[in-house]
Every structure is written in C-alpha cells, then in structure tokens.
A and B are shown apart, each in its own frame.
Chain A
Amino acid sequence: MTWGLLLQAGVSGLLLGGVYGLVASGLSLIFGVLRIINFAHGAVMMLAMYTTYWLFALAGVDPYLSVILTAPLFFALGVVIQKVVIEPNRLAAEHNQLLLTLGLALFFENLALVLWQGDFRTVRVAYSNASFMVGEALVEVPRLVASGGAVLMAVGLFAFLRLTDVGKALRALAEEPEGAALVGINVSRIRAASFGLGSACVAVAGALITPFFYVAPDVAESFNIMAFVVVVLGGMGNFVGALAGGFIVGLAESLGAAFLPGSLKQLVVFMIFVIALLFRPQGLFGGSRGR
C-alpha cells in the first residue's frame, strides 16, 4: 500500500466520478420534475454517442463542438419521447412507468444494433490519448474535460433553474405540482421541457465521453446503474447533489479497486447505494422530495 497508489486511486476516482455525475445530472432533473425513474436514460446517451460518432466520422466535427448540434437535437427527442410515451401514461402506476422506460431502453438499444451492428466504434481525436502526471498519478485529459463539463453543467443548470422563467417553472412543478398549475404554469409543456432538458444533458454527457470511451449499442450498461446510485446519493432532483454524489461514487469505486481483492469494488458501490436508500433516501444533500 503506497501513497502513490492511494493518490492514483483518488485522482482516477474523482475523474471517474465527474463522468458519473455528468451522466446522472439529466436523470436527476427528470426524476425531480416528472417523478419517474428513467431506465432509458443510458440508452438516450448511447444514441447521442452514435450521433457524435457519425458527425465526427462523416463530417469531421469535433465531439466537443458537436454539442451545439446534439444538445438541441436531443432536447427535441426528449420532448417527443415525453409526449408520446410518458405523458399519456403519467397517471399510471409507478411500476408501469418503470417498465415503460425499460421497454423504451430495449427498443433504443436494439434499434442501434439493427442500424449500426454491434461492433465497437471509436472517435479518435488528437487529444484522445493526451495525459499528464500529477506526481505519480495519471490524469487523462479527455476525462478531465468530461469532469470539467460536469461541473459546468451543474453550474449551468443551477443558474438556468434560478434565473430563467422556464427554470423557475420547472422548480415550481418539482416542488408543488398542484400549486404550479394554479399559478398558470403550462404544466404539460413544462413537463415535456424537463424531459427534453434531461435528454439534452445526457446528450452532452455522451459527446464528452466519446473521446475516451467506445461507442456500441450496449454502452449504457456501463453507466446505467451508477447513474441511479449517484442520483439517489445526491438526492433525486438535486443535480448539484448528483455531481457530489458522482464524485463520492467514483472515489468509492476507485479506492475499492485499489484496496479490495477481485472485482469486489462493485460491492462497495452497491453497499453505499443500499445504505443511502435505507437511511437517507432524500439523498446526502436533500432532494426535492424524501420518500
């Protein structure tokens, strides 16, 4: 057990956590407003990653720049999904809504498989392999950018929700659904916007991930469960909490990998998950609603 290993685990953990937080922020937002656990979140990110890939492969668009195109595109997709699939069922039992998003995830993942087959694709940019050392610890530039993106997104969302009308309406809807309707907020439009916004966020996440992670129909599986853990830790609906939760999960995973034998690092994350669910389901930082 050397300090070098501990330092590396810490650094990698934070970088990984940033990625998790980035992926989870949209999920947190969607839960906060719509109260649904969106199992299709990772699948939407996967579609965004493919979009990023094709923009890069066919038109040479840099993944980071492509968010200008993908974010609005996936906002629109999110709105469509919400209006077509979620909204008609908004009064359905919660478990049915869960299964809806599960069916949607299956649909999207296999749509990708049909369209683009299962082989891995990579976005190879000049900075894909850029890295530097901090003492004995490796820092990979694309992951650092993604983590930075996570922070920016949290700040951006925070500002958006505080300062814009749509943002305020979103918050109102999240905190007081009945009251929001009474004060004249167009509830169905805001609901659609929230899913759109959440999808746009995860699309940005996908774009930021492609420089260092492969693109394939099943990439969602690497992030889905972690995204839920992060959202629970951060507090459902609290996307700043999601960022913090992401760092915690990333660190736990990375330190677990450094200190535990085998692949038991996965156990650490799940135990944190269970403990958080049992003892603080409103999240470490408080969510928009508790139980």
Chain B
Amino acid sequence: MGAKVAAALAVAALVALPPLLPKYHLEVLISVLFWAYLGIAWNLLGGYAGQFSFGHAAFFGIGAYTSTLLLLQVGLTPWVGMILGGALAAAFGLFEGYLSFRYGLKGPYFSLVTLAFAEMLRVVGVNTKAVGSSLGLVVPSAKAAPAMFMFSGKLPYYYIILAMGALALALTWKIGRSRLGFSLAAVRENEDAAETAGVDALATKLRAMALSSFLTALGGTFYAQYFAYIDPTISFGPSVSIGALLPAIVGGAGMVLGPVLGSFVLTPLSELTRYALRGRAGADIMLYGAILMLVISFLPQGIVGLVRERRARAGQR
C-alpha cells in the first residue's frame, strides 16, 4: 500500500515538477530519463532474455543516423524517420542475433560479438563520406517545428522522453506477464531445459532482440534531435553501449523498474562524484569505478533484487 502511494507520488512529481525546475536540474533529469530509457530497452535482451549485449550502440546509431539522414536528404520528419530507423535496427539486430544464436554463441562470446559489430559500424561510419564521416551530421534546430521533432526549450524533450520511458516500461511489464515473458525466463535460466520443455529458444531470443533493438534505435533519434549533432563515435561508441547496460545491472536486470532505479542512482551519482571531486582529474571516475565494483559485488541482483530479497525475507518471518 505504501509502495503504491510512493509510486503515485513519484509519477505525479515527474509530470508536474519539471516546469518548475531550473535549467540545470532539468538537464540532469532528462539525462536520467534518457539513460533509464536505454536501460529499459537493453533490459529486454540483456535482463529478460539473459543475452548480455555489449554493443547496443549499433542499434542506437542506426536509429540516429537513419532518421537524421532522412531528415537532411529528403526532409522526412524524424517522427516517421524514427520508426524507420527502429525497423532498420531491428532488421540488423535480427541479422546479428540470428548469426550469433544460430552458431550457439552464449555469455561472454555473445557479448564480444555484439561489441565487434558496434565497432565495425563505427569504423564504417568514420570512413564513409556520404554519412559525413567523422564530421558527423548537424541536425537543424534553430527554429521550433514540433512536426519535425524540433522544439525550443528543454521541457518538450523532457515530456517526450518521459512518455517514451513510460511506454517502454509498460511494454516490459506486459511482456513479463505474457507467454513470451515466460519463454524468456525459461531460456534465460536454462536454455537446454527450456528447449526440452518445448520452448523455441532461437525464436524467443530473436523476438527479444528485435524489440530491444527497435526501442534502442528510437532512443538514438531522440538523442539526435535533442543534442542536434551526431557522429560515428557518439552513435556507435562504447559510451552508449556501456551506458545502456549499467542502469539495468545496477538497478536490477530482468526486472521492470530495474533500469529506472539504476539510472536514478547512477546518473546523479556520477554528477555528485564529479562535483565533489572536481579539481583532481580522474578522481571522480575512480570513485565511480570503485562504487561500481562494490555494487556488483554486494548487489548482484541490483537494487530491485535487494528490495525483493528483503521483502521475501520479511514475508518469511
């Protein structure tokens, strides 16, 4: 009961407070929601299906570049370009996934393959003049044009990412309770046993991959429109890949709210350590690395996992 009230208050705050926030705080909040969104998208494949991708930037970049190139070359609104980017990313994800799963890549081997694919896209991007190579692409943003996903001020972007996050969260929740969710859990826990029980592991994993890559690509378009500039390193580089998975792991992979909680902890944490330790180059990331190790060691199931464990134990008393 208390949890429900808290949740309702949190939602109300997320909806009502932002117009009152000073610029900087709104920035941070948008950042938190953005990484939470990417974490939710990653979670479908990494947490729910248990396939730990180290290269989700591949899909992010495909989304960002598709919508931006379509915008710049044929004037297509990013609202539509976003969906096309998502479809393209899903296709690439299915290709990548089929190759990997069909050839039985699991665990760290799968992680390394996804990393390799993301890096390959980066190298191709850097060496392709047609997509701007390392000069990147500038997204026009001088005038507001809501139909073209361009807004003045930050508030509209906030509500967009909030909506995207809410939808992704709802989708995750629904999947968790569906047959697909059941299959995913079975595959995650023990793929062979799942197969014996009649679950088509390959199809299940591919479905998760398609959904995950589609959603991630939408995040890429958001990024392009919000920051108004993309290049191969931003789009396909490790910071997006790592940034997408950390909230889910810290918050709790395979659990609905995991990435959200993770992002609400990690993003302000990195801001705080940076602020507190300014003046000594690197001290903040050093602390961040240490905290990461501690969290992984003591909260292997993430924050949500810890909460659940506590509740279960409380329930047993």
- Chain A complexes with chain B: yes
Is there an interface contact between A107 and B289, defined as CB atoms closer than 8 Å?
Answer: yes
Instruction: Judge whether B119 and A94 touch: CB under 8 Å.
Output: no
Indicate whether A16 reaches chain B with its CB closer than 8 angstroms.
no
- B11 an interface residue at 8 Å Cβ cutoff? no
Interface status of A48 (Cβ within 8 A of chain B): no
- B289–A270 CB distance below 8 A: no
Distance in Å: Cβ of A44 to nearest Cβ of chain B: 14
| CB of A266 within 8 Å of the partner chain | yes
Q: Which residue of A lies closest to B108 (CB)?
A: A37
Neighbouring B residues of A100 by C-beta, 8 Å: 293, 296-297
Q: Which residue, of B124, B284, B289, has the highest number of chain A Cβ atoms within 10 A?
A: B289
> Could you tell me the distance between the alpha carbons of A279 and B105 in the complex, rounded to whole angstroms?
10
Q: Residue B48 at the A interface, CB < 8 A?
A: no
Report the Cα distance A48→B141, complex, angstroms. 48
Determine the distance from Cα of A98 to Cα of B114 in the docked complex, in whole angstroms. 14
User: Are the CB atoms of B120 and A217 closer together than 8 Å?
Assistant: no
Residues of A within 8 A of B280 (CB): 114
- In angstroms, Cα B282 to Cα A113, docked, is 6
How far is it, in angstroms, between the C-alpha of A106 and the C-alpha of B242 when the chains are bound? 12
CA distance A166 to B126 in the complex (A): 48
Cα–Cα distance between A271 and B99 once the two chains are bound (Å): 13
Judge whether A104 and B119 touch: CB under 8 Å: no
- Count of chain A residues with Cβ under 8 Å from any Cβ of B? 46
The verdict on B109 contacting chain A, using a C-beta distance below 8 Å, is yes
Q: Is A156 positioned at the interface, with any CB of B under 8 Å from its CB?
A: no
Q: Are A88 and B297 in contact (CB under 8 A)?
A: yes
Judge whether B106 is part of the interface by a CB distance below 8 angstroms.
yes
Is A96 in contact with chain B by the CB < 8 A criterion? yes
Bound complex: CA A232 to CA B104 (Å): 15
Interface residue ranges, B against A (CB under 8 Å): 46, 52, 54, 99-100, 103-109, 111-113, 115-117, 119-120, 123-124, 126-127, 242, 246, 249, 253, 280-286, 288-290, 292-293, 296-297, 300
A-B contact pairs, 23 of them (CB 8 A): A85-B293, A89-B297, A89-B300, A94-B52, A94-B108, A96-B296, A100-B293, A102-B242, A103-B292, A109-B285, A110-B285, A110-B289, A113-B282, A117-B281, A267-B123, A270-B123, A274-B117, A277-B113, A278-B105, A278-B113, A291-B105, A291-B106, A291-B109
Q: Known contacts A106-B289, A111-B282; can you find 20 more A-B pairs with CB under 8 A? A: A89-B297, A89-B300, A92-B300, A93-B300, A94-B108, A95-B111, A96-B300, A103-B289, A107-B286, A107-B290, A113-B281, A232-B109, A264-B123, A273-B112, A277-B109, A281-B103, A281-B109, A291-B105, A291-B106, A291-B109
Chain A residues with a Cβ under 8 A of chain B: 37, 85, 88-89, 92-96, 98-100, 102-114, 117-118, 217, 225, 228, 232, 261-264, 266-267, 270-271, 273-274, 277-279, 281, 291
